[in-house]
């Protein structure tokens, strides 16, 4: 029953009671009038309670509607991009996937590694490094394959692979010079067999990775301006 109906019933009862008062006479009329007045007061109180209850029941629905409207306009959580390190050589290990900023360069080791077992190579591990020139002018990035070494958290070392019939050995200590354009970048990786010879290639590492190893630790020494830097790849 809605509020309008309840008000109509209340006033009809009030009119009936007042009409009854007009046909009652003498002392009985006064007694009846007092009784009817009490009844009118009781009905008035009951009607007020009913209206309050109706308002209380409507309030949660309104609140729920407001909450739904508020939730529908919320901005989805944005994907968090890994934050780069401060512009200095880090003293602590850095997680793979986080750019390391220093001397106008950015260097980031990919979190992804490639393992393989191919013919004379045996089990190998390949990594990828993204180097970016943060300045406007073209610059030369210098390093050697020997700048990068690898071990795991158990202390096992993974030597550089010599390549097919020792093809990588002559290039292990040779200095490489890569010209990187202003605000440009380049991938330096060991994904390709024999890629150790090219300026943008490094040697693979001899595996396999033990089952109990939790992560790899890649060490950079004289890799451009990056020296004494450890980067961790979770396994």
Judged on CB neighbours under 10 Å (0-12, 13-18, 19+), 26 is exposed
pLDDT mean over 11-17: 54
pLDDT mean over 138-165: 94
164: left (phi over 0), alpha (psi -120 to 50) or beta: beta
110: confidence class by pLDDT, cuts 50, 70, 90: very high
Contact 170, 219 (CB under 8 A): no
Residue with the bigger pLDDT between 47 and 191: it is: 191
Order across the sheet with 148-152: list the strands: 94-95, 229-234, 215-220, 148-152
SS3 call for 132: strand
pLDDT mean over 23-29: 47
CATH of 94-234, one of 3.30.420, 2.40.128, 2.60.40, 3.40.50: 2.60.40
pLDDT value at residue 186: 95
pLDDT mean over 195-215: 93
Residue with the bigger pLDDT between 153 and 6: it is: 153
Residue 120 pLDDT exceeds 80: no
Residue 156 pLDDT exceeds 80: yes
How far are the Cα atoms of 8, 108, 129, 223 from residue 44, in angstroms, in the given order? 12, 78, 83, 89
Instruction: Go through 128-147 and write b for each residue having 16 or more CB atoms within 10 A of its CB, e for each that does not.
Output: bbebbbbeeeebebebbbbb
Q: What is the pTM of this model?
A: 0.65
Q: Which of 21-35, 36-50, 143-157 has the lowest mean pLDDT?
A: 21-35
Q: Show the tokens assigned to 129.
A: 């490094």
Strand duo 229-234 + 94-95: pairing: parallel
Domain locations in the chain? 3-67, 94-234
180: confidence class by pLDDT, cuts 50, 70, 90: very high
Residue 31 pLDDT exceeds 50: yes
- Whole-number Å distance between alpha carbons of 15 and 32: 15
> How does pLDDT run across 49-74, given as a tens digit for each residue?
556 656 555 544 544 444 444 443 44
Of 8-17, 87-96, 112-121, give the range with the top mean pLDDT. Answer: 87-96
């Amino acid at each position: 029953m809605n509020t309008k109906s309840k008000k109509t019933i209340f006033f009809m009862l009030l009119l009936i009671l007042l009409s009854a008062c007009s046909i009652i006479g003498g002392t009985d009329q006064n007694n009846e009038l007092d009784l009817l007045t009490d009844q009118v007061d009781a009905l008035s109180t009951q009607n007020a309670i009913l209206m309050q209850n109706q308002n209380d029941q409507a309030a949660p629905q309104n609140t729920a509607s407001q909450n739904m409207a508020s939730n529908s306009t919320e901005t989805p959580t944005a994907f968090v991009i890994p934050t780069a390190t401060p512009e200095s050589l880090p003293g602590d290990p850095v997680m793979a996937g986080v750019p390391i900023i220093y001397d106008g360069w950015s260097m980031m080791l990919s979190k992804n590694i490639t393992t393989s077992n191919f013919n004379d190579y045996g089990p190998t591990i390949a990594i990828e490094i993204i180097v970016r020139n943060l300045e406007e002018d073209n610059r030369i990035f210098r390093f050697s394959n020997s700048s990068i070494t690898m071990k795991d958290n158990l202390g096992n070392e993974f030597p550089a692979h010599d390549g097919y019939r020792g093809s990588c050995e002559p290039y292990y200590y040779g200095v490489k010079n890569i010209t990187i354009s202003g605000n440009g970048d380049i991938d330096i990786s060991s994904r390709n067999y024999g890629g150790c010879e090219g300026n943008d290639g490094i040697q693979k590492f001899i595996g396999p990775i033990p089952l109990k190893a939790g992560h790899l630790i890649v060490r950079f020494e004289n890799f451009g301006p990056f020296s004494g830097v450890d980067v961790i790849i979770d396994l």
